[in-house]
Amino acid sequence: MGKRVEGKVAMVFGAGAVGPGWGNGKASAVLYAREGATVFAVDVDEAAAADTRSIIESEGGICIAHRCDVALAADIERAVATCVATFGTVDIVHNNVGIVEVGGPLEINEASWDRTFAVNVRSMFLTAKHALPTMLAQGRGAFVNISSLAAIRYPGFPEASYVASKAAVIGLTQNMALQYAAHGIRANCILPGLMNTPTIVRPLTAAYGGDLAAMIAKRDAQSPTGRMGDGWDIAHAAVFLASDEAKYINGVALPVDGGLSLRFA
């Protein structure tokens, strides 16, 4: 067991994974625990959160699994209150939940635009609203918000609501970072590039022509390293940003993309 976030309480929203293997949220939750944090694992899918809890407990860590739909304000309020009531505080809020919607203004509709924004960014405003009073009272806290490289680079196909919501994540994070810097509270975000996680299978296979193997091969080839990243790449960046090692790092939008964002062609 490491000690990089020892003694801290980490809430991970979207701590499960949508299929077998390691997603960004599941790997992050497990790595926070491996590095000494007590983990409050939140997910809309109770079984997925319970799976993460089982892994953490089997490794000797402490974790509670909690069901919450981040599209619902009352669910978020309850999740934060339960975490604080159970563990006494919240030191780290890791916002991982994000849904993908493929299409531009002609293909998507008002309701799905609103839903994408509610899940991808209003959720982060609400987790902050409910966690900040505790963090301000104790004079410490760290937010790690998961945006996307798609917030700043065209992903190769239209994803208007996803891209706009992920750009809003950067704005929210940077605004909070400056507002609370003098209170011992930091806010940073991570921009994953092309990651091989369970979530990409369903929505992206269609966007890449309907062939899963071809989609994986194409995304591997698109990466400057020749392979997509994985959930652990995001988890390592997140634990660093949440830890005191990053005490002077605030308001960054960190690409974790193998260098993809530097490419000209």
Ligand X SMILES: NC(=O)c1ccc[n+]([C@@H]2O[C@H](COP(=O)([O-])OP(=O)(O)OC[C@H]3O[C@@H](n4cnc5c(N)ncnc54)[C@H](O)[C@@H]3O)[C@@H](O)[C@H]2O)c1
Minimal distance in Å, beta carbon 248 to ligand X? 26
> What tokens were used for 230?
């994985």
| Binding interface with ligand X (CB under 6 A) | 14, 16-18, 23-26, 43-45, 48, 68-71, 96-99, 119, 146, 148, 192, 194-195, 197-200, 231
Contact 96, 25 (CB under 8 A): yes
The residue written with tokens 């994540």 in the block is 169
Nearer to ligand X, 161 or 243 (CB): 161
Minimal distance in Å, beta carbon 165 to ligand X? 9
Contact 27, 231 (CB under 8 A): yes
Minimal distance in Å, beta carbon 194 to ligand X? 6
Minimal distance in Å, beta carbon 59 to ligand X? 19
Burial state string for 91-107 with b = 16 or more CB within 10 A and e = fewer than 16: bbbbbbbbbbbbbeeee
Minimal distance in Å, beta carbon 49 to ligand X? 7
To 10 degrees, what angle do helices 160-180 and 123-138 make?
10
Minimal distance in Å, beta carbon 225 to ligand X? 14
Nearer to ligand X, 49 or 140 (CB): 49
Residue 39: CB partners within 8 Å, gap ≥ 6? 10, 12, 15, 29, 32, 33, 52, 53, 56, 61, 62, 63, 64
Nearer to ligand X, 142 or 234 (CB): 234
Residue 67: CB partners within 8 Å, gap ≥ 6? 42, 43, 44, 45, 46, 49
Contact 94, 73 (CB under 8 A): no
Q: Which residues are catalytic?
A: 162
Compute the half-sphere exposure of residue 4: CA atoms within 13 Å on the CB side of its CA: 18
φ, ψ (nearest 5 deg) of residue 143 = -105, 135
> What tokens were used for 194?
């092309």
Nearer to ligand X, 9 or 18 (CB): 18
Residue nearest to ligand X (CB): 23
Give, as one character, the DSSP assignment of residue 131.
Answer: H
